[in-house]
Structure 1
Amino acid sequence: MSGTGTILTAEALIVGAADSRAREGQGVLVEGGRIAAIGPAATLAERAPGAARLHLAGCMLMPGLVNAHQHGRGLTQLQLGFPDMILEAWQTTKRRRGWLDPAAMVPLAAMQMLASGVTATIHANSTWGEAGRQPDDLARTIAAYDAAGVRALVGIGAQDRAGLVFPAEAQPGFVDGLPTALQALVGQADPPVFAATAAEAAALFDDLAARLPAHGRLRLAFAPAGPQWVSDALFAGLAQAARSRGAPIHLHALESVAQAAAARALYPEGTLARLERLGVLGPVTSLAHAAHLTPGDVAVAAATGTLLVRNPASNLRLGCGTAPLAAYWAAGVRVAVGTDCQTMDDDEDLWKELRLAARLATEPAWHGAGPADAETLLAMATGMGAAAMGLQGQVGALAPGLAADIIAVDLARVRGAYADPSVPLLDLLLARADARDVRLTMVDGRVLYREGRFPHLDPAAIAAAAAEAAARARAPWTPGREEAVAGLVAAVRDHYLAREV
């Protein structure tokens, strides 16, 4: 008999993708941050008569969502002054702004995720606009996630190949061919925003790991920037460092048409075949975007258990195309989903991104792939994301012994005026629910969001700090700098156009 903990009850409960039936009249007993039992409310009350009771009328209890690729920005790219354009041009526009403080951005991103039912996330390697700041920026990022209570895997960036344009051997000639004013804008073509060697990345990992909070919600990953930006030697060194530390690897890969063209030249045997040979791939490695995998790449991903993270709106908004998700599923590849801080409605809502991915996966042919089933989509937003974080069997479902990462979703708007009783509740949720319907978000047994309120956070102060940080990041701006950046964007476009990519 237990006299502690909390009993959560609602109209119904779904334990996860492996068992998606809606269980009416059942609840969850949470003790010590973990799920102690699932069963009828009366049975749970007998087991823990002293437990607090929390009833979510008209709601569905389910596992928290996992945002498997985002950058913790809080404010969207559009809000920060970077309108949509093809990826490589868009990346060039970042020279319009200065350093953006992650201590101000990440709390806002975390708050948005909690309000939409996201309990865990992969924070990819992030550049905040100033060389040499990665150690401090990562410390600020980790502290912000800790204060917010979100479960997070934070990536340590690494890069040693040219980043202004690629392929790397073309960059010196590109810079030399720029007008003097644009060369001055470029300055150091590849400022050290990330670790340049595996030893540097490993030392930073070890330093940060030693200072992580003991509760275990925060973990670290190695996050190489992407195949066109990372040498074989750096990839191999990072893979060895990750294996020796039991750490996941998370990287951007084959995101754009230009990246795919560069990869064909760099890796004639296939990008993923090379990464497999270097030891990079495996069950705790995830590739964000992966919009331009070849059939050979897909086969390697399936054979190695490597996860792909679908970012549908980001790929559409930045001119990267549409990943062939149906082909990935058909080959047996595990797929998660992330927002990339670039959602279709510019609102950081993972529910809508999941739906967009599903709709884009439906092939317009009688012999093609039809709509994905609800269980596959739920796994994509929960268990697959957990696996990408290295947390398979720990989060992503509701079961005794797992962490109590639980959300409650209101069914009233989901059902609307009428919902046919033949339609499973999970199908309705995945087709119609969004962030507006989330009523409660719990991480590690702690309620972090309920009915529009954050018991531990000050939303007004967080929003004000983010706005102030964004305003400070405008410091480099002048009309002359704006004109120079536009000229550099045009030069980058010409560089890729000349390569017919």
Structure 2
Amino acid sequence: MASSKHGLSQGLLRAGYLLPSSASERTLANARVRFSADGILSIQEDADTSGANPERTLIMSPLANAHDHGRGLRTLDYGALDTAVEAWVPATYALPPVDPYLVAASAFARMVRSGIGSTVHCHLSNDIQSLLREARAVRRAADDVGIRVAFVVPLRDGTRQGYSAATSALAGLRPADADAIRAQLLKPSAPVTEQLALVEQIARECEGPLFQVQYGPVGLEWCSDALIEGIANASRASGRRVHMHFLESRYQREWADAAFARSPVGHLHSLGLLGERLTLAHGTWLRRDECEMLAASARSCPSTRVPTCACVRALRPCRTCTVPA
């Protein structure tokens, strides 16, 4: 390492091979990469192979994590066992109060050690009043670890208790149990305008070259049409991207088929959300005709953090319809 005239450290990396990008048609042999704190200064192939033996080394761009929740404290640590999403998600609400900086820093550090240089961070929060404070902490953790982050602000205005109306979901429970669930899970949501304004406030205070803020409708099951339409309009006006969970389980597929006369993808289209700024996470139960709708607009469909068999089920129709995945 050396000091440049600007006071920035410089360095040289050597490797037997270098893959310039995922789209590259060839690798570079005996590669030399000069860099500074501002970025890469030069890349070249070097005929001089003297010195360190780099033949078994490879330099490549860091990996990208297309969908993550920044769980620095693993769910198993507080009793949320890995099971069907409908049972697993409510179990995660038992997360004890923890420092949002430590949680994010721990998750980001694990990613960086695994070769990940950027992540879509779908933030988890049960209180809209604390979201701005938590976003500041996540931004600080990202800066300290050195990872590029798309910070997805969670937006919802529907019940978290199942996929039906809260009254029908609670009707079969004992009154004391129903009251306990209402107190913990059925708190009133903030108005749509307040939620959208908070996204912009977080962006004003936290965005930077390596930290981008996105709208995060948590899913069709938990968002009203008014919220989805409001997000679509706000995204169109600001150019801000949208990241949304979509058809993650068989039960969500069955609910969507019963809830919408058109397909759920068609419903998103009718609300104005389909567009170049939208990415859909999971998409495990997409059908071929829905993939064709997405492909027509080049929608992104990252099938992530689901079992291998589910990934295959989602990726196969996406790839045959040329949807980026």
Task: Give distance in 1, aligned partners of 2:28 and 2:246.
Answer: 40
Which piece of structure 1 moves more, 266-275 or 199-208? 199-208
Q: Return the offset for 1:131.
A: 6.2
Q: Return the offset for 1:213.
A: 5.9
Say if 1:157 and 1:201, in contact at 8 Å, map to a contact too.
no
Task: Kindly report which structure 2 residues correspond to 1:440-451, keeping only aligned pairs within 5 A, or say none.
Answer: none
Gaps of 5+ in 2: none
Task: Give distance in 2, aligned partners of 1:65 and 1:97.
Answer: 29
2:18 corresponding residue in structure 1: 13
Q: Return the offset for 1:29.
A: 2.9
Q: Structure 1 residues 135 and 114 mapped into 2: Cα distance closer, same or farther (>3 Å)?
A: same
Q: Return the offset for 1:160.
A: 1.4
Task: Give distance in 2, aligned partners of 1:158 and 1:213.
Answer: 18
1:449 corresponding residue in structure 2: none
Say whether residues 1:164 and 2:161 are aligned partners: yes
1:142 corresponding residue in structure 2: 139
Q: Structure 1 residues 27 and 277 mapped into 2: Cα distance closer, same or farther (>3 Å)?
A: farther
Q: Return the offset for 1:277.
A: 2.5
Task: Give distance in 1, aligned partners of 2:46 and 2:258.
Answer: 61
Q: Return the offset for 1:97.
A: 4.1
1:316 corresponding residue in structure 2: 307
Say whether residues 1:332 and 2:316 are aligned partners: no
Task: Give distance in 1, aligned partners of 2:162 and 2:32.
Answer: 54
Q: Structure 1 residues 211 and 56 mapped into 2: Cα distance closer, same or farther (>3 Å)?
A: farther
**Equivalent position to 1:283, from 276, 279, 288:** 276
Q: Structure 1 residues 33 and 190 mapped into 2: Cα distance closer, same or farther (>3 Å)?
A: farther
Say whether residues 1:204 and 2:194 are aligned partners: no
Task: Give distance in 1, aligned partners of 2:236 and 2:54.
Answer: 43
Say if 2:30 and 2:55, in contact at 8 Å, map to a contact too.
no
Aligned partner letter, 2:187 = P
Task: Give distance in 2, aligned partners of 1:28 and 1:36.
Answer: 8
Aligned partner letter, 1:80 = Y
Task: Give distance in 1, aligned partners of 2:85 and 2:116.
Answer: 26
Q: Return the offset for 1:299.
A: 0.8
Task: Give distance in 1, aligned partners of 2:92 and 2:179.
Answer: 16
Task: Give TM-score, length-normalised by structure 2.
Answer: 0.87
**Equivalent position to 1:177, from 172, 179, 187:** 172
Q: How far does the alpha carbon of each residue in 1:246-301 deviate from its partner, in whole angstroms, 9 at most, with x for none?
A: 21100100001111111112222111112123221223311111101122210111
Q: Structure 1 residues 205 and 270 mapped into 2: Cα distance closer, same or farther (>3 Å)?
A: same
1:377 corresponding residue in structure 2: none
Gaps of 5+ in 1: 44-53, 336-501
Q: Structure 1 residues 104 and 196 mapped into 2: Cα distance closer, same or farther (>3 Å)?
A: farther
Task: Kindly report which structure 2 residues correspond to 1:42-61, keeping only aligned pairs within 5 A, or say none.
Answer: 58-61=56-59
Q: Structure 1 residues 227 and 149 mapped into 2: Cα distance closer, same or farther (>3 Å)?
A: same
Aligned partner letter, 1:145 = A
**Equivalent position to 1:26, from 8, 26, 31:** 31
Query: What SS does structure 2 have at the residue aligned with 1:25?
Result: strand
Q: Structure 1 residues 302 and 321 mapped into 2: Cα distance closer, same or farther (>3 Å)?
A: closer
Say if 1:87 and 1:320, in contact at 8 Å, map to a contact too.
no
Aligned partner letter, 1:116 = S
Sequence identity percentage: 26
1:236 corresponding residue in structure 2: 229
Say whether residues 1:260 and 2:250 are aligned partners: no
2:87 corresponding residue in structure 1: 89
Q: How many residues align?
A: 316
**Equivalent position to 1:300, from 293, 303, 307:** 293
Which piece of structure 1 moves more, 12-21 or 251-260? 12-21
Task: Give distance in 2, aligned partners of 1:57 and 1:253.
Answer: 44
Q: Structure 1 residues 293 and 11 mapped into 2: Cα distance closer, same or farther (>3 Å)?
A: same
Say if 2:28 and 2:45, in contact at 8 Å, map to a contact too.
no
Query: What SS does structure 1 have at the residue aligned with 2:111?
Result: helix
Task: Give distance in 2, aligned partners of 1:13 and 1:227.
Answer: 43
Q: Return the offset for 1:64.
A: 0.7
RMSD: 2.7
**Equivalent position to 1:248, from 238, 241, 244:** 241
Q: Return the offset for 1:306.
A: 1.1
Q: Return the offset for 1:211.
A: 1.7
Q: Return the offset for 1:242.
A: 1.5
Task: Give distance in 2, aligned partners of 1:178 and 1:159.
Answer: 25
Task: Give distance in 2, aligned partners of 1:42 and 1:236.
Answer: 58
Task: Give distance in 2, aligned partners of 1:229 and 1:24.
Answer: 51
Say whether residues 1:118 and 2:116 are aligned partners: yes
Task: Give TM-score, length-normalised by structure 1.
Answer: 0.58
